Structure 1
Amino acid sequence: MDTFFRTLISTSPNELISYEKYIGSALYHPEFGYYMKDKQKIGRQGDFITTSNISDIYGRMMATWFSHVCTNSQLDPVFCEIGAGNGRFAKAFLQEWKERIQTPLTYIIVESSPFHRKLQRELLMDDFPIVQVENINEVNAFEGMIFSNELFDALPVHVIEKENQELHEVMIGIRNNELYEQKVPLTNTDIKLFLKESQIELKEKQRLEVPLAMVEMIKGISRALIKGIVVTADYGYTNEEWMDPRRVKGSLRGYYQHQMIDDILQNPGEMDITTHIHFDYLIQKGEQENLELVSKLRQDEFLLQAGILKELANHYDPNPFSEVSKRNRAIRSLIMPSGISSYFHVVIQQKELKLKWSDFFSE
């Protein structure tokens, strides 16, 4: 057991910590956190894969779409990406902008990981001017667009469970040099407020993740954006979907070398930890911060509306490894009913704008 976690727990009240504190430390501690370490995390050599690492088409499509929105809204071409990882999305976006759009662009990256900031500089700085900051609160308020892909699913969460008709928070302690769970009566008023605002009533033995950290992130996003749009791509459920019996155990899990790990108390700091996000809460809290919902649609539907089929090249090429063949396969993989995009949704919000559907998507 890592000395850090042993000390953290032993010095906490009742020698217990919340899942939120555990996940926050396991992922984001400056020295021990998974995301902070100098190691490959994304792609074949890492622990998980993202849409933008399948192909550059995702980043290129977003650049074309953002240009379309800027034209229709007179928005400044300022694009802020939160959690840019290895920088592959940014590179694809910037390449498309440089090749096809060419108007001046400001590209801001919010990235807490020193290792990822280094990767981004190595990949981008020679060819593209970017602005890097560590925290959303360091961004000078601007007009434009804020984008994130799999940001909210990586934020720490509390965990609650209903047992004997009483709500409990699931805490973490240490015994015999191993981490273990202990349920305590729920006293956290912020969690109680979340349940009230979300109108969620847990069933007996149901476990649920509570995304309190989401609120501060949404507030930070709204503070950074004077006027513009917010686009969030992630996997998650609505409140109604959370009540499905298949979700009774919640969604908290880890990933290590592309293998799903049910017990995230194993090897803290060595694996990615993720949860499905609460879409209704994201939208509700956004509206409280003046972020008006435009649409929530599946990622494959978003890409189709944004015109991804126009990028398919008509060709006959017997070589399946040609660039055109690979690009067409990547496009199809993003819009296939069983592909990665079918598990993601895209939430579009606007602030201080009154744009219509036609301003976002061509008919």
Structure 2
Amino acid sequence: METDTMTPLKTILLDRILSKGRITFADFMAACLYEPGLGYYTSPGRKVGAEGDFYTSMNVHLVFGRLVAREICRMWESMGSPGRFDIIEAGAGAGQLAKDILDTIAGINLPFYDTLTYCLVEKEPTLKEAQKAKLADHLARLDWHTPEELAEGGSTFSGCLLSNELIDAMPVHLVEMTPAGLMEVYVTALDGEFGEMLDEPSTPELAAYLKRLGISLFAGQRAEISLAAIGWLEAAAKAVEKGFVLTIDYGYPADELYAPMRKNGTLLCYYQHTTEESPYIRVGLQDITSHVNFTALMERGEELGLHTVWFGEQYRFLLGAGLMEEMLALEKSGVSETELIKNRLALKKLMLPDGGMGDTFKVLIQAKGVDNPQLLCMRDWGKCF
């Protein structure tokens, strides 16, 4: 296993394994990302944008948030324009997406703005002050919950539960198909470094997960299984009394995610805008992700009363939500040619495949208690001018 400089979290995890024994990769990943005060997402510091380690769609151009806001406005209308509407953003970060959404709604639909409460959910506690500063114009509309409060399901809401690149960062179990059957990857410690070993799965749910989806791995194939994503969706289904779950992330349907061409799975790390395959270096300092299994979310969602309303590539969602109108408005805004070129390049990145975000990123909208919603993304995107 590749060696690396020691970090405080690496020392803790090596000691933990030496004293208590091997751990599943899911437990290792959970600690790397969420160990209190030391994990990647629970320690201070910028994670997203030019100063961080990766970009998300909202950092590419504010039009992304404007289009999400347009769709949320349509959700409110499809629910009969109720007098209270909650937007719950899970994994809200520093609040940039919340700002873009709230700025847009306040500008295009003031009656809706006056009914809504925007609740930010974030594991990193120091981000609350950054969120307050960024959202100073909307403080009267804000609320906060911890991820644990959302997961416990103590209260319900009507509105939209939104996540943007959240599920890809949930801990995953690593499995490998061997001649002896399905095995799980465990993380061990040896001579001050991490190692791996294969053994019987830690839970029968791993084999059951693949069986439910009709997935057969070939010998030597590795894959990720996110039981945490299913658990999160189950908590979301309990929390949503009426409304929508809007999930934006990179991933595939199950048959593509577990296709033979992905022999080593989709696990990837990000550090200072470069990718890294080894999750065992820079422990606590780099992001660890895997692609989302959207089939699992849709099938489990149906069982929970969250019915799939729309699923497709991000570029189709953006076009349906009004991207062409936004682009035309930008072209007519009177900004300099340099700014126009910058806008065009950013929007190209949001839409296009092969280096862009257009088809790798998917959008899943699930509804509960809303009959036949007519959302913007359902429009014929070829007629959205």
Aligned partner of 1:59 in structure 2 is 65
CA distance in 1, matches of 2:162, 2:24: 29
CA distance in 2, matches of 1:272, 1:32: 13
In structure 2, do the counterparts of structure 1 residues 283 and 176 end up closer, same or farther at CA, with 3 Å as the change threshold?
same
Aligned partner of 1:178 in structure 2 is 193
Aligned partner of 1:345 in structure 2 is 362
Which residue type is aligned with residue 151 of structure 2? Answer: N
Which residue type is aligned with residue 75 of structure 2? Answer: V
Shift of residue 337, structure 1, vs aligned partner: 4.2
Greater CA drift, 107-116 or 251-260? 107-116
Shift of residue 334, structure 1, vs aligned partner: 2.1
Aligned partner of 1:266 in structure 2 is 281
Q: 2:244 aligns with which of 226, 229, 232?
A: 229
Residues 141-156 of structure 1 correspond to what in structure 2 (within 5 A)? 141-156=156-171
SS in 2 for 1:312: helix
SS in 2 for 1:48: coil
Matched length: 360
SS in 1 for 2:217: coil
SS in 1 for 2:337: coil
Aligned partner of 2:128 in structure 1 is 117
Asked if structure 2 preserves the Cα contact closer than 8 Å seen for 1:256 and 1:272, the reply is: yes
Which residue type is aligned with residue 229 of structure 2? Answer: M
Greater CA drift, 301-310 or 235-244? 235-244
CA distance in 2, matches of 1:74, 1:243: 40
Which residue type is aligned with residue 134 of structure 2? Answer: L
Q: 2:315 aligns with which of 290, 293, 300?
A: 300
Asked if structure 1 preserves the Cα contact closer than 8 Å seen for 2:353 and 2:360, the reply is: no
SS in 1 for 2:278: coil
Aligned partner of 1:244 in structure 2 is 259
In structure 2, do the counterparts of structure 1 residues 80 and 98 end up closer, same or farther at CA, with 3 Å as the change threshold?
same
In the alignment, does 2:291 pair up with 1:276? Answer: yes
CA distance in 1, matches of 2:13, 2:246: 35
Residues 43-54 of structure 1 correspond to what in structure 2 (within 5 A)? 43-54=49-60
**Residues 257-308 of structure 1: CA distance to partner in whole angstroms, max 9, x if unpaired?**
0111111011210100000011111111111211011121100001111111
SS in 2 for 1:197: helix
SS in 2 for 1:285: helix
SS in 2 for 1:342: coil
Aligned partner of 2:146 in structure 1 is 134
CA distance in 1, matches of 2:379, 2:199: 53
Aligned partner of 1:335 in structure 2 is 351
Q: 2:218 aligns with which of 180, 198, 203?
A: 203
In structure 2, do the counterparts of structure 1 residues 244 and 215 end up closer, same or farther at CA, with 3 Å as the change threshold?
closer
TM-score for both structures, normalised by structure 1: 0.93
SS in 1 for 2:98: helix
CA distance in 1, matches of 2:138, 2:373: 35
Residues 78-117 of structure 1 correspond to what in structure 2 (within 5 A)? 78-103=86-111, 104=114, 105-117=116-128
SS in 2 for 1:67: helix
CA distance in 1, matches of 2:152, 2:203: 29
CA distance in 1, matches of 2:377, 2:208: 34
In structure 2, do the counterparts of structure 1 residues 26 and 73 end up closer, same or farther at CA, with 3 Å as the change threshold?
same
In structure 2, do the counterparts of structure 1 residues 266 and 337 end up closer, same or farther at CA, with 3 Å as the change threshold?
closer
CA distance in 2, matches of 1:262, 1:326: 31
In structure 2, do the counterparts of structure 1 residues 361 and 295 end up closer, same or farther at CA, with 3 Å as the change threshold?
closer
Greater CA drift, 332-341 or 141-150? 332-341
Shift of residue 164, structure 1, vs aligned partner: 2.3
TM-score for both structures, normalised by structure 2: 0.88
In structure 2, do the counterparts of structure 1 residues 258 and 356 end up closer, same or farther at CA, with 3 Å as the change threshold?
same
Asked if structure 1 preserves the Cα contact closer than 8 Å seen for 2:316 and 2:377, the reply is: no
Percent of paired sites with the same residue: 31
CA distance in 2, matches of 1:119, 1:325: 30
CA distance in 1, matches of 2:268, 2:90: 22
Greater CA drift, 84-93 or 130-139? 130-139
Shift of residue 203, structure 1, vs aligned partner: 0.2
Which residue type is aligned with residue 315 of structure 2? Answer: D
Q: Show structure 1 runs of 5+ residues with no match.
A: none
